[in-house]
Amino acid sequence: MFGVNQLKTTALLGLLSGLIVLAGYYLIGNEQGLILGLVFAAFTSIGSWYFSDRAALAAYRAQPLAREQAPQLYDMVARLSDRAEIPMPTLFVVPTQSPNAFATGRDPQHAAVAVTEGILNLLSPEELEGVLAHELTHIKNRDTLTQAVAATLAGAITFVGRILTFGALYGPVTYDNRRNVNPLGLLFLIVLAPLSAGLIQLAISRTREYAADQGSAELTGNPLALVNALRKLEEVGRRIPMNGNPALSPLLIINPLSLEGLQTLFLTHPPTEERIRRLMELAQQQPATTAMA
Protein backbone atom coordinates (compact mmCIF):
# COMPACT_ATOMS: atom_id res chain seq x y z
CA MET A 1 0.00 0.00 0.00
CA PHE A 2 1.26 3.42 -0.94
CA GLY A 3 1.53 5.08 2.48
CA VAL A 4 1.42 8.71 3.51
CA ASN A 5 5.19 8.90 3.95
CA GLN A 6 5.80 7.57 0.43
CA LEU A 7 3.25 10.03 -0.95
CA LYS A 8 4.94 12.94 0.81
CA THR A 9 8.35 11.84 -0.43
CA THR A 10 7.15 11.48 -4.02
CA ALA A 11 5.56 14.93 -3.91
CA LEU A 12 8.73 16.50 -2.52
CA LEU A 13 10.90 14.86 -5.18
CA GLY A 14 8.46 16.16 -7.76
CA LEU A 15 8.90 19.68 -6.40
CA LEU A 16 12.68 19.35 -6.67
CA SER A 17 12.42 18.19 -10.28
CA GLY A 18 10.01 21.02 -11.02
CA LEU A 19 12.49 23.56 -9.70
CA ILE A 20 15.14 22.21 -12.07
CA VAL A 21 12.77 22.44 -15.04
CA LEU A 22 11.87 26.01 -14.10
CA ALA A 23 15.54 26.89 -13.70
CA GLY A 24 16.26 25.47 -17.15
CA TYR A 25 13.56 27.68 -18.63
CA TYR A 26 15.02 30.83 -17.12
CA LEU A 27 18.57 29.82 -17.98
CA ILE A 28 17.81 29.32 -21.69
CA GLY A 29 14.88 31.69 -21.98
CA ASN A 30 12.50 29.60 -24.10
CA GLU A 31 10.77 26.24 -24.35
CA GLN A 32 14.07 24.54 -25.10
CA GLY A 33 15.00 25.37 -21.52
CA LEU A 34 12.09 23.28 -20.28
CA ILE A 35 13.38 20.31 -22.26
CA LEU A 36 16.91 20.93 -21.01
CA GLY A 37 15.61 21.04 -17.44
CA LEU A 38 13.79 17.74 -17.87
CA VAL A 39 16.86 16.10 -19.38
CA PHE A 40 19.11 17.49 -16.67
CA ALA A 41 16.77 16.28 -13.91
CA ALA A 42 16.64 12.81 -15.47
CA PHE A 43 20.42 12.70 -15.95
CA THR A 44 21.20 13.71 -12.36
CA SER A 45 18.65 11.23 -11.02
CA ILE A 46 20.11 8.35 -13.04
CA GLY A 47 23.65 9.31 -12.04
CA SER A 48 22.77 9.42 -8.36
CA TRP A 49 20.91 6.11 -8.72
CA TYR A 50 23.97 4.33 -10.06
CA PHE A 51 26.87 5.98 -8.21
CA SER A 52 25.33 6.97 -4.85
CA ASP A 53 26.70 4.02 -2.88
CA ARG A 54 30.28 4.47 -4.07
CA ALA A 55 30.16 8.21 -3.48
CA ALA A 56 28.89 7.85 0.09
CA LEU A 57 31.34 5.11 1.06
CA ALA A 58 34.26 7.02 -0.45
CA ALA A 59 33.24 10.28 1.25
CA TYR A 60 33.46 8.68 4.68
CA ARG A 61 36.50 6.49 3.83
CA ALA A 62 34.52 3.34 4.63
CA GLN A 63 36.46 0.08 4.46
CA PRO A 64 35.01 -3.39 3.74
CA LEU A 65 34.42 -5.39 6.89
CA ALA A 66 35.17 -9.11 6.69
CA ARG A 67 33.11 -11.61 8.65
CA GLU A 68 36.11 -12.79 10.65
CA GLN A 69 36.65 -9.22 11.84
CA ALA A 70 33.18 -8.93 13.40
CA PRO A 71 31.32 -12.27 13.45
CA GLN A 72 28.73 -11.10 16.00
CA LEU A 73 27.93 -8.04 13.90
CA TYR A 74 27.54 -10.22 10.81
CA ASP A 75 25.18 -12.59 12.64
CA MET A 76 23.13 -9.67 13.92
CA VAL A 77 22.75 -8.10 10.47
CA ALA A 78 21.94 -11.47 8.90
CA ARG A 79 19.23 -12.13 11.47
CA LEU A 80 17.66 -8.68 11.04
CA SER A 81 17.88 -8.88 7.25
CA ASP A 82 16.01 -12.15 7.35
CA ARG A 83 13.27 -10.57 9.44
CA ALA A 84 13.08 -7.63 7.05
CA GLU A 85 12.97 -10.05 4.10
CA ILE A 86 15.82 -8.36 2.24
CA PRO A 87 19.23 -9.66 1.12
CA MET A 88 22.01 -9.14 3.61
CA PRO A 89 23.87 -5.93 2.71
CA THR A 90 27.63 -5.62 2.42
CA LEU A 91 29.16 -4.35 5.66
CA PHE A 92 31.69 -1.53 5.98
CA VAL A 93 33.47 0.17 8.86
CA VAL A 94 34.34 3.87 9.00
CA PRO A 95 37.64 4.68 10.78
CA THR A 96 36.40 7.34 13.18
CA GLN A 97 35.49 7.46 16.86
CA SER A 98 32.43 9.55 16.10
CA PRO A 99 29.49 7.20 16.72
CA ASN A 100 27.27 6.92 13.66
CA ALA A 101 26.00 4.60 10.94
CA PHE A 102 24.42 4.82 7.51
CA ALA A 103 22.98 2.72 4.72
CA THR A 104 23.46 3.29 1.01
CA GLY A 105 22.75 1.61 -2.31
CA ARG A 106 20.29 1.89 -5.18
CA ASP A 107 18.14 -1.08 -4.10
CA PRO A 108 18.11 -3.92 -1.55
CA GLN A 109 20.13 -6.11 -3.94
CA HIS A 110 22.95 -3.52 -4.10
CA ALA A 111 22.96 -2.18 -0.55
CA ALA A 112 25.64 -1.52 2.04
CA VAL A 113 25.59 -0.66 5.72
CA ALA A 114 28.50 1.23 7.26
CA VAL A 115 29.14 1.59 10.97
CA THR A 116 31.84 3.65 12.62
CA GLU A 117 34.39 2.32 15.03
CA GLY A 118 32.94 4.70 17.57
CA ILE A 119 29.44 3.26 17.46
CA LEU A 120 30.76 -0.29 17.84
CA ASN A 121 32.63 0.77 20.96
CA LEU A 122 29.80 2.84 22.42
CA LEU A 123 26.59 0.82 22.12
CA SER A 124 25.47 -2.37 23.79
CA PRO A 125 24.46 -5.29 21.52
CA GLU A 126 20.77 -4.50 22.08
CA GLU A 127 21.27 -0.81 21.20
CA LEU A 128 23.37 -1.65 18.18
CA GLU A 129 20.63 -3.99 16.99
CA GLY A 130 18.18 -1.08 17.13
CA VAL A 131 20.51 1.07 15.01
CA LEU A 132 21.10 -1.68 12.45
CA ALA A 133 17.35 -2.36 12.20
CA HIS A 134 16.89 1.36 11.49
CA GLU A 135 19.40 1.22 8.63
CA LEU A 136 17.93 -1.98 7.20
CA THR A 137 14.51 -0.32 7.18
CA HIS A 138 16.02 2.46 5.07
CA ILE A 139 17.18 -0.20 2.63
CA LYS A 140 13.85 -2.02 2.61
CA ASN A 141 11.98 1.23 1.97
CA ARG A 142 14.54 2.26 -0.69
CA ASP A 143 15.23 5.45 1.24
CA THR A 144 18.90 5.19 0.30
CA LEU A 145 17.99 5.84 -3.32
CA THR A 146 15.45 8.54 -2.47
CA GLN A 147 17.92 10.48 -0.32
CA ALA A 148 20.67 10.20 -2.92
CA VAL A 149 18.40 11.52 -5.67
CA ALA A 150 17.15 14.34 -3.43
CA ALA A 151 20.68 15.40 -2.55
CA THR A 152 21.75 15.37 -6.20
CA LEU A 153 18.71 17.34 -7.38
CA ALA A 154 19.13 19.89 -4.60
CA GLY A 155 22.79 20.30 -5.50
CA ALA A 156 21.90 20.73 -9.18
CA ILE A 157 19.41 23.49 -8.35
CA THR A 158 22.02 25.30 -6.28
CA PHE A 159 24.49 25.00 -9.17
CA VAL A 160 21.99 26.42 -11.66
CA GLY A 161 21.24 29.26 -9.25
CA ARG A 162 24.91 30.16 -9.20
CA ILE A 163 25.02 30.18 -13.01
CA LEU A 164 22.03 32.51 -13.09
CA THR A 165 23.67 34.76 -10.52
CA PHE A 166 26.79 35.01 -12.68
CA GLY A 167 24.68 35.72 -15.77
CA ALA A 168 22.67 38.41 -14.03
CA LEU A 169 25.80 40.16 -12.85
CA TYR A 170 28.03 39.88 -15.91
CA GLY A 171 25.84 39.36 -18.93
CA PRO A 172 22.42 38.49 -20.34
CA VAL A 173 20.59 35.81 -18.43
CA THR A 174 19.18 34.19 -21.55
CA TYR A 175 20.53 33.52 -24.99
CA ASP A 176 17.98 35.78 -26.70
CA ASN A 177 18.51 38.52 -24.09
CA ARG A 178 14.79 39.00 -23.57
CA ARG A 179 13.79 42.23 -21.90
CA ASN A 180 10.61 40.87 -20.44
CA VAL A 181 12.25 38.47 -18.00
CA ASN A 182 10.27 38.51 -14.77
CA PRO A 183 12.66 39.94 -12.16
CA LEU A 184 10.71 38.29 -9.34
CA GLY A 185 11.00 34.93 -11.07
CA LEU A 186 14.71 35.45 -11.58
CA LEU A 187 15.13 36.42 -7.92
CA PHE A 188 13.30 33.26 -6.94
CA LEU A 189 15.66 31.07 -8.96
CA ILE A 190 18.81 32.83 -7.78
CA VAL A 191 17.99 33.09 -4.08
CA LEU A 192 14.85 31.24 -3.07
CA ALA A 193 15.05 28.15 -5.30
CA PRO A 194 18.34 26.84 -3.81
CA LEU A 195 17.03 27.56 -0.31
CA SER A 196 13.73 25.85 -1.11
CA ALA A 197 15.56 22.88 -2.59
CA GLY A 198 17.60 22.49 0.56
CA LEU A 199 14.52 22.65 2.77
CA ILE A 200 12.71 20.11 0.59
CA GLN A 201 15.69 17.78 0.83
CA LEU A 202 15.64 18.12 4.62
CA ALA A 203 11.89 17.47 4.70
CA ILE A 204 12.41 14.25 2.76
CA SER A 205 15.16 13.18 5.14
CA ARG A 206 13.05 13.88 8.23
CA THR A 207 10.07 11.97 6.85
CA ARG A 208 12.20 8.93 6.09
CA GLU A 209 13.91 9.01 9.53
CA TYR A 210 10.60 8.73 11.38
CA ALA A 211 9.60 5.79 9.19
CA ALA A 212 12.96 4.06 9.75
CA ASP A 213 12.67 4.51 13.52
CA GLN A 214 9.27 2.83 13.44
CA GLY A 215 10.67 0.06 11.25
CA SER A 216 13.45 -0.53 13.76
CA ALA A 217 10.92 -0.89 16.56
CA GLU A 218 8.96 -3.40 14.50
CA LEU A 219 12.01 -5.46 13.52
CA THR A 220 13.49 -5.68 17.02
CA GLY A 221 10.26 -5.60 19.01
CA ASN A 222 12.07 -3.25 21.39
CA PRO A 223 11.66 0.50 20.72
CA LEU A 224 13.54 1.35 23.91
CA ALA A 225 16.75 -0.12 22.49
CA LEU A 226 16.81 2.56 19.78
CA VAL A 227 15.79 5.19 22.35
CA ASN A 228 18.85 4.40 24.45
CA ALA A 229 21.05 4.32 21.35
CA LEU A 230 19.83 7.72 20.14
CA ARG A 231 20.48 9.27 23.54
CA LYS A 232 24.06 8.02 23.55
CA LEU A 233 24.67 9.00 19.94
CA GLU A 234 23.33 12.51 20.55
CA GLU A 235 25.50 13.05 23.62
CA VAL A 236 28.76 11.68 22.24
CA GLY A 237 28.16 12.96 18.71
CA ARG A 238 28.18 16.54 19.94
CA ARG A 239 31.65 16.05 21.36
CA ILE A 240 33.04 14.03 18.45
CA PRO A 241 31.47 15.29 15.20
CA MET A 242 31.72 13.17 12.07
CA ASN A 243 33.47 14.88 9.20
CA GLY A 244 32.37 14.35 5.63
CA ASN A 245 30.45 15.82 2.73
CA PRO A 246 27.50 17.82 4.21
CA ALA A 247 25.33 16.77 1.25
CA LEU A 248 25.55 13.18 2.48
CA SER A 249 24.72 13.91 6.10
CA PRO A 250 21.05 12.89 5.67
CA LEU A 251 22.32 9.31 5.26
CA LEU A 252 23.62 9.21 8.85
CA ILE A 253 21.39 7.89 11.61
CA ILE A 254 21.88 11.07 13.63
CA ASN A 255 23.16 14.56 13.02
CA PRO A 256 26.06 15.04 15.46
CA LEU A 257 25.31 18.76 15.85
CA SER A 258 22.12 19.81 17.63
CA LEU A 259 20.69 23.27 17.00
CA GLU A 260 17.82 25.21 18.55
CA GLY A 261 15.14 27.65 17.42
CA LEU A 262 14.94 28.60 13.76
CA GLN A 263 18.24 26.82 13.13
CA THR A 264 16.41 23.48 13.44
CA LEU A 265 14.90 24.21 10.01
CA PHE A 266 18.29 23.33 8.54
CA LEU A 267 18.91 20.10 10.44
CA THR A 268 19.10 17.02 8.25
CA HIS A 269 17.28 14.98 10.88
CA PRO A 270 14.24 15.47 13.10
CA PRO A 271 15.04 16.62 16.64
CA THR A 272 16.30 13.64 18.60
CA GLU A 273 13.87 14.48 21.41
CA GLU A 274 10.93 14.11 19.00
CA ARG A 275 12.25 10.82 17.65
CA ILE A 276 12.59 9.52 21.20
CA ARG A 277 9.08 10.71 22.08
CA ARG A 278 7.57 8.79 19.18
CA LEU A 279 9.53 5.66 20.05
CA MET A 280 8.39 5.93 23.67
CA GLU A 281 4.80 6.02 22.45
CA LEU A 282 5.43 2.84 20.48
CA ALA A 283 6.94 1.23 23.58
CA GLN A 284 3.85 2.11 25.62
CA GLN A 285 1.68 0.40 23.02
CA GLN A 286 3.58 -2.84 23.58
CA PRO A 287 4.71 -2.74 27.23
CA ALA A 288 5.20 -6.46 27.47
CA THR A 289 7.43 -6.64 24.41
CA THR A 290 11.09 -7.30 24.88
CA ALA A 291 13.92 -7.57 22.42
CA MET A 292 13.70 -10.61 20.18
CA ALA A 293 16.30 -13.29 20.63
Annotation says 135 is catalytic:
yes
Distance of CA 5 to the CA centre of its chain: 14
* Cβ-contact 140, 211 below 8 angstroms: no
Active-site pick, 127, 129, 135, 234: 135
C-alpha span between 269 and 276 (Å, rounded): 13
C-alpha span between 164 and 152 (Å, rounded): 18
Residues designated as active site: 135
